[in-house]
Amino acid sequence: MGYKKYKALLPIVAILGLAVFLRSSTYLNHPKADESKFYQYAINLTDGFYYDVSNPLIKEGPGYPMFLAMPVGLGIPLFAIRAFNIVFLSIACLYLFMILNRYISHKSSIVLTYLFALYPPMLRWANLMYAESFEIMLLLAFIFHFIKWYHREGNRRLHLVLAILFSGYLILTKIIFAYVFGAALIIVGVLMLIPGISREFRLSRVFIVFAGALVVLSPYVIYNYYNTGKFFYLGTHGGSILYHRATPFENEFGNHFSEEKVLAGEGPSSRSEVNVNLTDLQKNHLELYQQLDGLTWMQKDSVLKSVAIENMKKHPVKYLKNTAANFSRLIFHFPFSYRIQNLETLGYLVPNMFIVVLCIFGLWPAIARRNLIPRELLLILFLAVVYLGGHTLLGGRGRFFIPAVPMLLIFFSFVYLNILDIKFRRPDDS
């Protein structure tokens, strides 16, 4: 592929640059909100450890902090580190274009790549030291090299290694993908017992990549096992998330609140421009959190998981309501408990409404003409569904939907532009 095939994508770098540098928070010389945990983990890595082994607090996978460790250790200003998101998303768009260009026309690939580059929720977080931009790059790099390996194209061994490394690093960056790939590996392993399906979907090739991704994760699993005594223990945050997901209180929708926010109530440390009526939050949960005082993070995690499961059993209808709210929160960033509504919600609701509608209307043609769909695209859709299902059962918010967007885009662009034969034309085209 020559340079001419890619030059139309160059303005995307400028678009992403403007999205980063026009936001005032880019220039903060201190971490903001969730940036703090990534920053602290990066500092820990420069000191030779990831977390305090005497009382492990594991909120994030080490993938993004491993990248941050070098610039943080070198004292590079935070605005420059945030600017790396321009590089990550530019590479992501390049990979997306190369994937799309396999299945649809060159013009259509360019148009859809620009639409993805302009996707508001992704741009919303591109100016912050969050893992989303890095994660999107890893995801699309994995998909590209996976497809190459799946079809044994080019240097197939190189594509196999790169698909494994990118997917493994993706898991280290976004821990939920450990469960996505783990569940997918089990399902693929079972389906391999059915010769017809195994041959049709070339499942042995799929199994190798998924298993390899978990092998890349294994040193981190071993590290956590050595420090916690628990196998495949990837975070101390799950109990807190599940506890609030299973809340039995009617005025709550299942979104997560930190321990600090519950304990502080309406105190200065808990106030923000979006929260309201936190006295009700404290009334509902303070007693339990006070009982957790003095326990280790692992012990707190275990207790909260037990209480969450008990609440699910006692209040199944409320849990189903919370699950519906969580799914809505994942797609539309709404509703949240104790939160003042603002226009930011429209930045998720409007674009994602189009995505959801297009997916719904594209589903029947995909089912009816499924024999026309390349099998690797069905596998990509499968990963997207498992990912969205996992977040629906755990914690949901608008930025967690972002990784599913390119997977859905790749699949449904084939449905609309090949099966339904929709074309991108200028108004004067006949």
* 120-151 tens-digit pLDDT: 999 999 999 999 999 999 999 999 999 999 99
> How confident is the model at residue 208, as a pLDDT?
98
What is the pLDDT, as a whole number, of residue 423?
Answer: 67
State the pTM of this model: 0.94
Q: What region does 232 belong to: left with phi over 0, alpha with psi -120 to 50, or beta? A: left
Backbone angles phi, psi at 275, to 5 degrees: -90, 150
Are the CB atoms for 213 and 168 separated by under 8 Å? yes
Q: Check pLDDT > 90 for residue 345.
A: no
Strand partners, 275: 339
Rounded average pLDDT over 283-302: 94
In the structure, what pLDDT confidence band is assigned to residue 428 with cuts at 50, 70 and 90?
A: low
Average pLDDT, the chain: 93
**Cβ contacts of 177 within 8 Å, gap of 6 or more:** 167, 170, 171, 387
C-alpha 423/C-alpha 430 separation (Å) is 11
Predicted local distance difference test score (pLDDT) of residue 424: 57
- Flag whether pLDDT at 1 surpasses 90: no
Residue 283 φ then ψ, to 5°? -60, -35
Predicted local confidence at residue 266, as pLDDT: 55
